[in-house]
Amino acid sequence: MVGDINMKKIILNSLVAATILFAASCKPEIETPAATTAGTANFGKYIAVGNSLTSGFADGGLYLEGQKVAYPNLIAAQMAIVGGGAFTSPFFTDAQANGSGYVSLTALVNGTPTLTPVAGNGWRDTPTNTRLAKYITEIQNLGVPGMRVDLSFAPTFSAANPYFERLLGDAQVGTTSYFQYVQGRNHTFFSLWLGNNDVLGYALNGAVTIPTDPTTALTDKVTFSSLYSNFVNALTAGGQKGVVATIPDVTAVPYFNTVTPAVLLTAAKAINPAAAAIYIQTGAGSVRAATAEDLIRLPFQNANLFARPNALGFFYGLDPRNPITSNWVLDKDEVIKVKDYVNSYNSSIKTIATSKGLAIADTYVYFNTVKAGIAVQGININAAFISGGAFSLDGIHLTPRGNAAIANVFIDAINAKYGATVPTIDVSKYRGVKFPDK
Amino acid sequence: MKKLLLSALLSVPLWVFGQGFQVNLQGQKQIGMAGAGSALALDEASVFFNPGAVSFLEKNSISAGVNPLLFKSAFKQTGSNITENVKNKIAPPFEAYAVWGPKSNKWKLGLGVYTPFGGLVDWGNEWSGRYALTSLNLKAIYFQPTLSVKITDHIGIGAGFVYNHGEVNLQRALPVNFPDGRSGHATLEGTGSGYGWNAGLYVKTQSNITFAVVHKSKVVTKLNDGTATFDVPESLRTSFPAGNTFNAELPLPSTTTLGVGVPLSKSTTLAFDASWVKWRIYEELAFDYATNTSALADTKSARNYRDGSSFKLGINHQASEKLALRAGVGYAFSPVQDGFVTPEAPDADRYILSAGVGYAPTSHFEVNASFFFEDVKSRQQKNIETGLDGTFKTLVYAPGLSLTYKW
């Protein structure tokens, strides 16, 4: 029997030993076809040229959290894995992390959001608080909120745009154009996502151009093509490779799809069941009942105008004699016009990029798939305001999750064009909208 | 003759033996033979493998064993350079059997308690697929009272009633964020029960070659009033009400097995099992919540499993009166179709390798040990429902030990 016990002991001991051994080792391996590589691209010095999307603008403001997850910053971190260099950005300091200020979601009652401004603290002229803290050392994230292709060539815009002004030395303000600013940086690779505001500025003002405000103009199609070509020529002057992005359909963002005529009518009927239609003033000046094809701007929900009676007792938006004014509405004819411009710009962008052998990140296609709804790593992402997860609280700019998803569109395009294997980004690590925990 | 039979069996068109949540650890001797043995009246584990063979067991016996199982799965997102691994969690499949009948009588009674289905996968709360799944702990414990009758000296039949006690705990992250950025979390936990049967025919020919036909019925396990806990920001509480419950149904598939046992010599026996698992009943994983909201609809996730099959070949060699050595190989075809691979069962076709040893110090007492290894093939998949896109690779290790008393 002694022998039996020993035998049992041996078996038991070896089982325990085997279990511990296997718990510690024998991990399954997943073989990668090839090591990560930059392919034919050189990511030694990457610069990102663009507008608010490139800068990390989110929730209606430029602030540190958004800057850190701007898609170029996410891309640069992945490029570093395949030999890319450092990437610098004009971050606000931790002490000035609120930057220009932004909005946060402070309550959600029966699906109705309360958006509360968070005051900016990124000023250099406290207590006036109109001028942003300067950042004039060399940077690679060159995104400037509000930048347009046409105004890239206007030196005066550097004085008018506070986000551009903060990046310039005093002597350059008002004299240096964005086109000049981005040059001479000895970059080896670039991304260019510009042109959105050439049509969005117009659309965001309800397709009403204010003569004194060039940011509300619609850039002429031929002008766009010519200036964009100049831009690409400058960025590829040293034979650099890069990626350009198409412009999303501006009507694919929550800004134009949240406050719909149907939503307004339902709200009106809850108070007055006799309400029959929502009335709008079109861009052409006529007044008619709104249809689902007419898009109303997101800020209308907080404008405190809807259903207010005027002096004659006609309720705003509910009576043809007191319609929603044209600046709040992108009516269906204006939608057609805006879409036509986007298509024209994109056609120019793709033609120019193709002629230069550049990668094309087709964000136009991607945003349309987001509008329809997609599942990424178990996360359902769509273009719904707040719940969709991709768009921040301004309904136009991206959440960290949206930035990660779009960064992967760029990475896929870069990898496909240059035979690179820049690793994609784990989208699950990035948040959507923050919901109040009270 | 023996050769002919084997080749005939091996040339059977490829059935699919599904794995999925199937756990092939029900008897230490059979585990050592890759899970083959339905056509062998080896021991009391025949209650599971073939109730028809139980009446051919010479002795009454009682046994209990455990097979600590380590399911090591890795995932690499398509396009990523990072490989993620499941946490080291040891699942405890176990088996206990008792067989009793008056000596020299033609019938025997049996009882089996075993774990034919289960899963323990914990990917952690930080992995890239956490919005599809963070962890699954699924257990099915079958209780099977059995009657086996030796009709002639060559034919035995047997059948058992199966009661299943099932437990499930399924967790995943929710893509809604708290003010500090962390994600919400859902936990679905419940117990349930189901019923079925297990019947087998055992034939021992004049030449001592043995055959088996065994059918284990499906066991549809119903989970009622499980708890659904949602950790979400308070502003979303009305959408994910506290104290919610759910009903769900987990259909555990039927298995039909054909087996053959071939004595190569006095001390050496070969066993071959071919099994067909009707996994096609696992069409969807549905959760019916007691309280639905605009954000919380009942969910129906398509699984669309097809039937599976497996082939297992084992050898049992009685090295001495006291010592037995065993080995086995097998191959199993996954029931999970392209587009439906999930992190809860990152399944693919798999190879099985096993070895075992038995030691009987006295005629009453036996100790058996086994080591079971499965190599689940690497599989790159994009899940249709969740969009989770990447490569899974899994290795399974299960050492085991059982003790038997015979009289």
Torsion, Cα A296 A300 A301 A306, to 10 degrees, reads -100
> Is the pLDDT confidence value at A19 over 90?
no
Task: Report the pLDDT value the prediction gives residue B9, as an integer from 0 to 100.
Answer: 32
pLDDT at site A1: 43
- Compute the distance between CA of residue B352 and CA of residue B34 in angstroms, rounded to an integer: 6
> Cα separation of A129 and A180, whole Å?
28
pLDDT of residue B219: 93
With CB atoms and an 8 Å threshold, state whether A374 touches B387. yes
Return the pLDDT at A84: 95
Q: Residue A27: closest CA among chain B residues belongs to which residue? A: B72
Which region among A24-28, A35-39, A136-140, A386-390 has the lowest average model confidence (pLDDT)? Answer: A24-28
CA distance B185 to chain A (A): 13
Burial label for B243, CB within 10 Å (0-12, 13-18, 19+), is exposed
pLDDT at B18: 32
In this structure, the strands spanning A279-281 and B155-177 are unpaired
Stretch A317-339: mean pLDDT: 95
Q: How far apart are CA B29 and CA B356, in angstroms?
A: 7
The pLDDT confidence band at residue A11, using thresholds 50, 70 and 90, is: low
Phi first, then psi, for residue B352 (nearest 5°) are -125, 135
What is the tens place of the pLDDT at every residue in A283-306?
999 999 999 999 999 999 888 999
Which domains, from first to last, does chain B contain? Answer: 2-406 (2.40.160.60)
pLDDT digits (tens, 9 = 90+) for A252-279: 999 999 999 999 999 999 888 988 999 9
Contact list, B80 vs chain A (CB under 8 Å): 423-424, 426
Percent of the residues in chain A that have a pLDDT greater than 90, as a whole number? 84
Q: Which chain A residues are within 8 Å of B69, Cβ to Cβ?
A: none
Q: In sequence order, what are the beta bridge partners of B204?
A: B210
pLDDT over threshold 50, residue A43 = yes
Tell me the per-residue pLDDT of A354-399, one tens digit each, with 9 for 90 and over.
Answer: 999 999 999 999 999 999 999 999 999 999 999 999 999 999 999 9
CATH topology of domain A46-250+332-429: Rossmann fold (3.40.50)
User: Is B130 part of the contact surface with chain A (CB cutoff 8 Å)?
Assistant: yes
Residue B291: CA count within 13 A, CB half-sphere: 13
A-chain residues near B172 (CB < 8 A)? 378
What residues 57-116 of chain B have any CB closer than 8 A to a CB of chain A?
68, 70, 72-83, 85, 88, 90
DSSP state of A300: G
pLDDT of residue A296: 96
Q: How far apart are CA B24 and CA B373, in angstroms?
A: 11
Q: Which of B235, B395, B399 sits opposite A28 (nearest CB)?
A: B395
Q: Dihedrals φ, ψ of B316, to 5°?
A: -125, 120
Alpha-carbon distances of B209 from A238, A437, B41, rounded to whole Å: 81, 70, 12
Distance CA A92, CA A77 (A): 19
Q: What is the dihedral of CA A332, A333, A339, A342, to 10 degrees?
A: -140
Q: Measured between alpha carbons, how far is B120 from B67 in angstroms, rounded to an integer?
A: 14
What residues form DSSP beta bridges with B210? B204, B261
> What's the token pair of residue B379?
């599989």
Residues A18/A23/A25/A28 CA torsion (nearest 10 deg): 120
Give the pLDDT confidence score for residue A24 in this predicted structure: 52
Neighbouring C-alpha atoms within 13 Å toward the C-beta of A224: 24
* Closest-CA distance of chain B to residue A335, Å: 31
CA-based nearest residue to A241, from A232, A249, A250: A232
Residues 6+ apart with CB under 8 A from B246: B188, B190, B223, B225, B226, B227, B228, B287, B288, B289, B290
| Predicted local distance difference test score (pLDDT) of residue B91 | 85
**What distance in Å separates residue A167's CA from the closest CA in chain B?**
30
d(CA A171, CA A180): 14
pLDDT of res. B296: 85
* Contact (Cβ atoms closer than 8 angstroms) between residue B329 and residue B375: no
DSSP state of B205: -
- Measured between CB atoms, does B231 come within 8 Å of chain A? no
- Rg over alpha carbons for chain B, rounded to the nearest Å, is 22
A380 CA to chain B: closest CA distance, Å?
Answer: 8
Among A83-92, A309-318, B4-13, where is mean pLDDT lowest?
A: B4-13
Domain residue ranges in chain A: 46-250+332-429, 261-330
Handedness of CA A196, A199, A205, A206 (dihedral sign): negative
Reduced to 3 states, what is the DSSP secondary structure of residue B45? coil
What ipTM describes this predicted complex?
0.88
Per-residue pLDDT of chain B (407 residues; tens, 9 = 90+): 334 333 333 333 222 223 556 788 899 999 999 999 999 999 999 999 999 999 999 999 999 999 998 889 999 999 999 999 999 888 889 999 999 999 878 999 999 999 988 888 999 999 999 999 999 998 899 999 999 999 999 999 999 999 999 999 999 999 999 999 999 999 999 999 999 999 999 999 999 999 999 999 999 999 999 999 999 999 999 889 999 999 998 888 999 999 999 999 999 999 999 999 998 988 888 889 999 988 888 888 888 889 999 999 999 999 999 999 999 999 999 999 999 998 988 889 999 999 999 999 999 999 999 999 999 999 999 999 899 999 999 999 999 999 999 99
